[in-house]
Amino acid sequence: MSGQSLAADLTLTGGDRGVVVVVAVIALAALAVGYVLIREVLAAGQGTLKMQDIARAVQEGAAAYLKRQRNTLLVFGTVVFLLLFLLPADSGGERIGRSLFFLVGAVFSFAIGYLGMWLATQANLRVAAAANEQGGRETATRIAFRTGGAVGMATVGLGLFGAAIVVLVYTGAAPKVLEGFGFGAALIAMFMRVGGGIFTKAADVGADLVGKVEQGIPEDDPRNAATIADNVGDNVGDCAGMAADLFESYAVTLVAALILGSTAFGSKGLLFPLIVPALGVVTAMLGVYITRARAGESGLTTINRSFYISALISAVLCTAAAFIFLPSSFSALTDGTQASTAGNPALIAAVAVIIGIVLAGVILWLTGYYTGTEYKPVKEVGKTSLTGAATVVLSGISVGFESAVYTALVIGAAVYGAFLLSGSVVVALFAIALAGCGLLTTVGVIVAMDTFGPVSDNAQGIAEMSGDVTDEGAKILTELDAVGNTTKAITKGIAIATAVLAATALFGSYQDAIGKALVKAGETFDPTAFLVFSPDVLVGVLIGAAVVFMFSGLAINAVTRAAGAIVFEVRRQFREIPGIMEGTGKPEYGRVVDICTRDSLRELATPGLLAVLAPIAVGFGLGVGPLAGYLGGAIATGTLMAVFLANSGGAWDNAKKLVEDGNHGGKGSEAHAATVIGDTVGDPFKDTAGPAINPLIKVMNLVSVLIAPAIVGWSVGADASTGLRVSIAVVALVLIVVAVVISKRRGTAIADAPAEAANRP
């Protein structure tokens, strides 16, 4: 990277500006298409009055949760905003822009989450109603997929629009401003993932423990006080959290590509990373509209077809765009500053984008294989249910480990492949970021696929609770739900791939920020501070890996703790409200929703603080070398852990479905009980801890990029102050310890619940 510095003085020519404006218009078009899709969803039939009643309760609960979460995040976001404002910046404009777009990123992220949740709660009811009608299978699938399509369009539209505006307004300072934008998006997404994840699984596990295990009543039985909370959870976790998470993936990957693009390719490098996802928007629209279930095929086949078709079109369009917009040699690049690099920019860009698209396809296939009911792994997990819960748990863990390894190797191969495209480190990093952009072209369809899951799950819940559903309708909804489990796992795989690509690419701006700060302090860059085998860097790697384990443990613990509180409350209601079991008394659903809301917002503080403060403690305490090691360790372990948790959870869930479909003894058998245990173990794995690791990596990465200049500035040169540095590290460490101790103090409510065991109804 020597001799090439990021964020050069870039200017856009009139023609370039025109291209960016076109991109912005395409982004707005995506939003418009999203609006049309929303109208279409809302126009569908709303079923019986009983169904509408239940749906309304879920809608209200979800809205109430997000409102309270918004208030919590406002406080936290304001603090971060102020800290961000205080960090060193090259100019006042950059400082203001960075902080301002931090807010924009945060608001967009929250807005997408809110939209995803709101629309899903509207769609659930309509899917349930459609399934109940004659020949409703196709309509139900379409509504569910259109709902996802609307959220997908909003995700890519807002992401692309935000980035395009930054490029138009800030041009030269765009990279720094984009860091703020990405950070805002990632931070809010992480909180929404963690909070929503805790809510949904606390309600789910709590409802199951009292309902299924103690009372022997089925899932989604209206006599269970936690049943509305369970359905609210699906919306705030799987819809709001997921949508914010994918928006964040989109934004951060785009940010990484734009930052590196400007260095590698001059001002053309600010254009091409916008063009690729813009083309992705176009193909995603196609993908959403061509999704039609053919008679007799599974929902997964339909979705896969739509994915592969749009991926293929994207690949063709992006290759064409590369050769149209980029010259065939570096010396021909407009500003000529990068003339020393050999190779064909157009070819490199095209191949990099294709690598990203292929990566998405391979992950889609791998995840489908490891978590789909029709393949060997889930079938084997299902079979082990005959030798009891222990073998179910062990085989699910093996499936998770194995799939994590192959997914990580595939992602690694993509990074390495993109890296090999150029001998110049900067261009290689840009190629990696472009592979990320290639992946992005599939996000529209991915969101559509993912939303499919919770919407069908919830539709099933509404149908069962209302009792107003036909046998045929129930069968359709069960089938859609099973497809949902796999699509949810696929999304997590794609999301973690974006984390690795973006993080690897962002290391370029990390190094650049350090180099610049050193120049400012009159020092030169010393590569030996970043050697992977240097003991301090290795300790950083170890700490980074440890933080991923800690974060996962905290998230899982938060779920079991919150679930314990739900168990208490549901038992209390069974005991104190007369006639619940007979159906003459009505449970107080709202109280359980309130407890879930309160607990999940309280519980998200510790993992959230850990994510923001750990890199601060390591960076200011040990230095920029160990912090780089820390990020490396967190990325590597985080990737494996995220996929492991997501896929083992997905496999357990579908193994349960296999048994429920009549295999190995069917519902009510011992084998079924064994798979229920596996599924419960998998709940916080796949819906709380696992998916939160993706935004976790991005947050830690962006915090590191943002604080790097300050660490260097306060370490060497005129502003050096060991006292200040160490104080910051100590404060960060103390805050982490306090947060951990507070959450420990809360105890493990689920462990305390047995104290009331004697009072069981």
Pick out residues in 212-231 that bind a copy of itself (CB under 8 A): 213
Greatest distance between any 2 Cα atoms in the chain: 82
> Minimum Å distance from CB 38 to a copy of itself?
38
Token representation of residue 92: 């006042």
> Minimum Å distance from CB 274 to a copy of itself?
23
Q: Is 738 in the site for a copy of itself (CB under 8 A)?
A: no
Alpha-helical runs (H) found in 389-525: 389-420, 425-440, 443-466, 471-520
* 214: phi then psi, degrees, rounded to nearest 5: -80, -45
> Minimum Å distance from CB 359 to a copy of itself?
13
Residues 547 to 566 in contact with a copy of itself, rule: CB under 8 A: 547, 549-550, 552-553, 556-557, 559-560, 564
Q: Is 677 in the site for a copy of itself (CB under 8 A)?
A: yes
- Is 309 exposed, middle or buried (CB count within 10 Å of its CB: 0-12, 13-18, 19+)? middle
Report the residue from 366, 411, 437, 697 that binds a copy of itself according to the rule CB under 8 A. 411
DSSP classification of residue 328: S
Which residues make Cβ contacts (< 8 Å) with residue 655, sequence separation at least 6?
Answer: 378, 381, 382, 385, 392, 396, 675, 678, 679
Residues 631 to 650 in contact with a copy of itself, rule: CB under 8 A: 631-633, 635-637, 639-640, 644
Residues 341 to 360 in contact with a copy of itself, rule: CB under 8 A: none
Amino acid, res. 703: V
Written in H, E and C, the secondary structure of 215-248 is HCCCCCCCCCCCHHHHHHHHHHHHHHHHHHHHHH
Q: Which residue's CB is nearer to a copy of itself, number 631 or number 692?
A: 631
Q: Which residue's CB is nearer to a copy of itself, number 167 or number 631?
A: 631
Amino acid, res. 385: S
Q: How far apart are CA 94 and CA 97, in angstroms?
A: 5
Residues 206, 563: contact at Cβ < 8 Å?
yes
Q: Which residue's CB is nearer to a copy of itself, number 21 or number 742?
A: 742
DSSP classification of residue 12: -
DSSP classification of residue 294: P
> Minimum Å distance from CB 179 to a copy of itself?
16
Query: Of 403, 443, 452, nearest to 307 (Cα)?
Result: 443
- The piece of 42-50, 378-386, 471-479, 717-725 that touches a copy of itself (CB under 8 A) is 378-386
Amino acid, res. 200: T
Q: How far apart are CA 585 and CA 370, in angstroms?
A: 44
> Minimum Å distance from CB 335 to a copy of itself?
25
Report the residue from 267, 384, 456, 597 that binds a copy of itself according to the rule CB under 8 A. 384
> Minimum Å distance from CB 687 to a copy of itself?
13
Number of residues that bind a copy of itself (CB under 8 A): 95
Report the residue from 301, 387, 721, 759 that binds a copy of itself according to the rule CB under 8 A. 387
Q: Which residue's CB is nearer to a copy of itself, number 518 or number 541?
A: 541
Residues 74 to 103 in contact with a copy of itself, rule: CB under 8 A: none
Residues 169, 161: contact at Cβ < 8 Å?
no
> Minimum Å distance from CB 555 to a copy of itself?
10
Report the residue from 22, 83, 96, 425 that binds a copy of itself according to the rule CB under 8 A. 425
Q: At what angle do helices 268-290 and 242-265 cross, to 10 degrees?
A: 150
Q: Which residue's CB is nearer to a copy of itself, number 355 or number 462?
A: 355
Q: Is 735 in the site for a copy of itself (CB under 8 A)?
A: no
> Minimum Å distance from CB 251 to a copy of itself?
22
Q: Which residue's CB is nearer to a copy of itself, number 73 or number 547?
A: 547
Q: Is 748 in the site for a copy of itself (CB under 8 A)?
A: yes
Residue 479 CB: number of other CB atoms within 10 A? 20
Residues 173 to 202 in contact with a copy of itself, rule: CB under 8 A: none
Residues 474 to 533 in contact with a copy of itself, rule: CB under 8 A: 500, 504, 507, 510-511, 527-528, 530-533
* 242: phi then psi, degrees, rounded to nearest 5: -65, -45
Residues 619, 704: contact at Cβ < 8 Å?
yes
Q: Is 455 in the site for a copy of itself (CB under 8 A)?
A: no
Report the residue from 221, 380, 472, 660 that binds a copy of itself according to the rule CB under 8 A. 380
Q: Is 669 in the site for a copy of itself (CB under 8 A)?
A: no
Q: Is 661 in the site for a copy of itself (CB under 8 A)?
A: no
- Is 294 exposed, middle or buried (CB count within 10 Å of its CB: 0-12, 13-18, 19+)? exposed
Find the Cα–Cα–Cα–Cα dihedral 359, 23, 487, 635, rounded to 10°.
Answer: 50
Residues 325 to 344 in contact with a copy of itself, rule: CB under 8 A: none
The contact mask relative to a copy of itself for 579-618 (x = CB under 8 A, - = no) is ----------------------------------------
Q: Is 415 in the site for a copy of itself (CB under 8 A)?
A: yes
